[in-house]
Structure 1
Amino acid sequence: MPELLKVEALRAGYGEAVVLHDVSLALGVGETLALLGRNGTGKTTFINTLAGATRQHGGRIALGGVALDRLAPHQRAAAGIGWVPQERNIFKSLTVHENLTAVERPGPWNPRRVYEMFPRLAERKGNLGTQLSGGEQQMLAVGRALVVNPRLLLLDEPLEGLAPIIVEELLRAIRRITRDEGLAAIIVEQHPQAILAISDRTVVLDHGTVVHADSASALRAQPEVLERLLGVAR
């Protein structure tokens, strides 16, 4: 499988504070990586660093052979990074449709396809961001990342705080995006079993370093390892 993302000896954090220490990993075209770890271990910092929202102190990040290290966030989006941060960051003063068209780039994903995947958004396309529920805002955040037509989708705790019925709807959408559409993705999530089921590989961080890397199926089959690494059982 051709390599899409390569991260080598990455050191990054906020200001002078270094959170990630010598993190290295690679991701192939069309692969999905579950990025796991207890709270405060550097998962969000890693996602934010790929998106260009932290200070990189050392190492190298390349997407499709293109160095991202010195690129601004909007340049990384143009290079193929689609980012769904924890805060969602939708434009709350714009309508659902305006949120999508404001960032749309040429490619297979467009607002029509987003509405087909999330019928709730189609019903609310004229609603402002402030008029959406938390689950609808998350759907819009995912849709907005897709219409950028990325090569790599970054999802930072996409299921956090959502009702079970919305969680199931988002999981189906993520499974479709990654499994059926073949879009590469890195997913940070506090519900490991749900994400491991739709991932190819997994990396576990602890204190900003990689402490475990394996196939997702292998980690799912070892509840004792999940318990040791994350404090959760199957």
Structure 2
Amino acid sequence: MREILHVEKLSAGYGQAMVLHDIGFSLGEGRSLALLGRNGVGKTTLVNSLIGVTRRTAGTIRLGGADVTGFGPEKRARAGIGWVPQERNIFRSLTVLENLTAVARPGPWTPARVFTMFPRLGERRGNMGDQLSGGEQQMLAIGRALVLNPKLLLLDEPTEGLAPIIVEELLKALRDIFRAEGLAAIIVEQHARKILKITDDALILERGRVVHRAASAALVEDADTLQGFLGVARAAA
């Protein structure tokens, strides 16, 4: 299995404040990683460090075998990193279709394929971004990242603030996306049990350090670790 992402001894933060300390992990082609931890432990900072908007003090980041440590955000995007931020960052004054075609790059993910993955967007392709519901905006944000045809997809709290029925629809779509064309993905999510069911592996952060690594299937059954690091209650019998 080809390695898509390799992070080694990464320390980073904002200004003089260091948030991440000696982070190291790798992610293979077609593998999905749940990035877990309590609020404020550095999950979003790690995603921001991968896209290149934090201050790095040590470590390296390699994408598809190439060293991208010194790249800025735009160059990292061109190298193959797709990002879905918490804020979604869609173009609200453009239509759904225009949002997709404005950023699309050649590859298997096209606007038409996004509409197949998210039929709601296909039905609203002529609607402006600000005419969409929160769930539809999130689908569009994911679609915009996909039509960049990235090697690595980063998603930061994609289900935050969405109705439960939309969350289930979105998680099903993400599970299918994670298994398509060898796309590697990292997803930050507060709902640990739900995201562990659709990812391959998991990484838990605490105080800016990696404190636990496991296969997602193993972690979802590890009640002591979930409770100890994440405060997740034991599953009902």
Assess same fold via TM > 0.5. yes
Partners of 1:199 and 1:119 lie apart in 2 by 23
Alignment of 1:151-170 (within 5 A): 151-170=151-170
Once the two structures are TM-superposed, the CA of residue 182 in structure 1 deviates from its matched residue by: 3.4
| Residue 134 of structure 1 pairs with residue 130 of structure 2 | no
Alignment of 1:58-73 (within 5 A): 58-73=58-73
Cα offsets for 1:97-147 (capped at 9, x unmatched): 111011100000000000111111111111111111111110000000000
Residue 55 of structure 1 is matched in structure 2 by 55
Identity %: 65
Cα offsets for 1:210-230 (capped at 9, x unmatched): 010111111111112100110
**What is the TM-score when the length of structure 1 is the normalising length?**
0.97
Question: Is contact 2:117–2:173 with CA below 8 Å preserved after alignment?
Answer: yes
Partners of 2:180 and 2:67 lie apart in 1 by 28
Alignment of 1:7-26 (within 5 A): 7-26=7-26
SS of the residue corresponding to residue 97 of structure 1 reads: helix
Partners of 2:2 and 2:126 lie apart in 1 by 41
Any unmatched runs of 5+ in structure 2? none
Question: Is contact 2:201–2:214 with CA below 8 Å preserved after alignment?
Answer: yes
SS of the residue corresponding to residue 173 of structure 1 reads: helix
Residue 215 of structure 2 is matched in structure 1 by 215
Residue 43 of structure 2 is matched in structure 1 by 43
Once the two structures are TM-superposed, the CA of residue 4 in structure 1 deviates from its matched residue by: 1.2
Matched residue type, 1:174: L
Question: Is contact 2:30–2:180 with CA below 8 Å preserved after alignment?
Answer: no
Number of equivalenced pairs: 234
| Residue 182 of structure 1 pairs with residue 155 of structure 2 | no
Matched residue type, 2:127: N
Question: Is contact 1:179–1:198 with CA below 8 Å preserved after alignment?
Answer: no
Partners of 2:9 and 2:47 lie apart in 1 by 15
SS of the residue corresponding to residue 25 of structure 2 reads: strand
CA RMSD of aligned residues (A): 1.0
Partners of 2:59 and 2:146 lie apart in 1 by 28
Alignment of 1:214-233 (within 5 A): 214-233=214-233
Once the two structures are TM-superposed, the CA of residue 149 in structure 1 deviates from its matched residue by: 0.1
Question: Is contact 1:35–1:203 with CA below 8 Å preserved after alignment?
Answer: yes
- State the 4+ residue runs in structure 1 displaced beyond 4 angstroms: none
Once the two structures are TM-superposed, the CA of residue 78 in structure 1 deviates from its matched residue by: 1.1
Alignment of 1:190-201 (within 5 A): 190-201=190-201
Any unmatched runs of 5+ in structure 1? none
Partners of 2:192 and 2:139 lie apart in 1 by 20
